[in-house]
Structure 1
């Protein structure tokens, strides 16, 4: 984020370039799993404001799933331990302090999003464990994340789809990704 330059970005709502600036910051809690225990952390989230269309946009890091209290890697760890058959569902729920209902929601989301991303044939050929292993071993999870958002209009493991905009000017919510208009690397 230290290299992020909002004045160089194109607004995802109106498409104007050069009209975004830092608007404010807000705190966000996120639950993660570190050193064998559940940890609640506070993050500082940057919001930018587009002078052209008057919309504010939160800039979320990849570890955040919109509207989820749990980090992406917390959920992937739970599912990974399940796919590796390290624990029973009851043991996983106790270990990660989650309900069975929450576990099964995550599992259903995983299966649905994996099938959406890979398609029916590839989904049947690639095990959940292999897909998760490749996903987390990837040098650039961000590339997968951005591709998923562009294709599906929601984040990987996000529990609901985003509303379809009738017109950008009256949008209340919009999810897309900011990508630098210039290369900074």
Structure 2
């Protein structure tokens, strides 16, 4: 993020270039899993402001699912273990409710179908898709491609908000090429 230059970016709402600048930062909590433990950490999130359309935009790293407290990889680790353990064991180990687990599983299947297409998704089991996801050269490339295809982040649970001002503004989730790759 230190190398991110908002003044070189195009505003995802109005399309103007060279009108964005760093506006502020805010703290956001993220839940993740490391060394067998569920952890919570605060992250510093940058917001940029477009002088042209007066919209602020949060710049989120790939590991953050918009509007979710759980990191993407936390959810993927749980879903990746789904075939190896019972739902009860997973929920106890990762300290999540069964209701939350089933929401993630439903969302996983829906997004897998959106990504692969209905026919390929019906022929691909969860474990195969999971391996394909993690064997990619760059998760960031998958993340950006998924946003372009669906207009939301992978495993994001609800649609993005509708903007009312200016009248021609549309919410558009976009992604920036990262300076580093997670794997």
TM-score by length of 1: 0.90
Q: 2:60 maps to which residue?
A: 60
Compute the displacement of 1:131 (Å): 0.8
Compute the displacement of 1:176 (Å): 1.7
Pairing partner for 1:155 from 153, 156, 172: 153
- Is the contact between residue 14 and residue 169 of structure 2 (CA under 8 Å) also seen in structure 1? no
Compute the displacement of 1:140 (Å): 1.1
Q: 2:28 maps to which residue?
A: 28
Which residues in structure 2 correspond to 1:168-179 (within 5 Å)? Answer: 169-170=166-167, 174-179=171-176
Unaligned stretches of 5+ in structure 1?
A: none
Change over 3 Å in CA distance of 1:153–1:23 after alignment to 2? same
Q: 2:12 maps to which residue?
A: 12
Q: Which has the higher contact order (CA 8 A, sep 6+)?
A: 1
Change over 3 Å in CA distance of 1:172–1:87 after alignment to 2? farther
How much is the aligned-residue C-alpha RMSD, in angstroms? 2.2
Unaligned stretches of 5+ in structure 2?
A: none
Cα distance in 1 between the residues matched to 2:6 and 2:102: 39
Compute the displacement of 1:59 (Å): 0.2
- Is the contact between residue 23 and residue 47 of structure 2 (CA under 8 Å) also seen in structure 1? yes
TM-score by length of 2: 0.91
- Is the contact between residue 30 and residue 71 of structure 1 (CA under 8 Å) also seen in structure 2? yes
- Is the contact between residue 63 and residue 71 of structure 2 (CA under 8 Å) also seen in structure 1? yes
- Is the contact between residue 31 and residue 41 of structure 2 (CA under 8 Å) also seen in structure 1? yes
Q: 2:3 maps to which residue?
A: 3
Compute the displacement of 1:2 (Å): 2.3
Cα distance in 2 between the residues matched to 1:98 and 1:69: 12
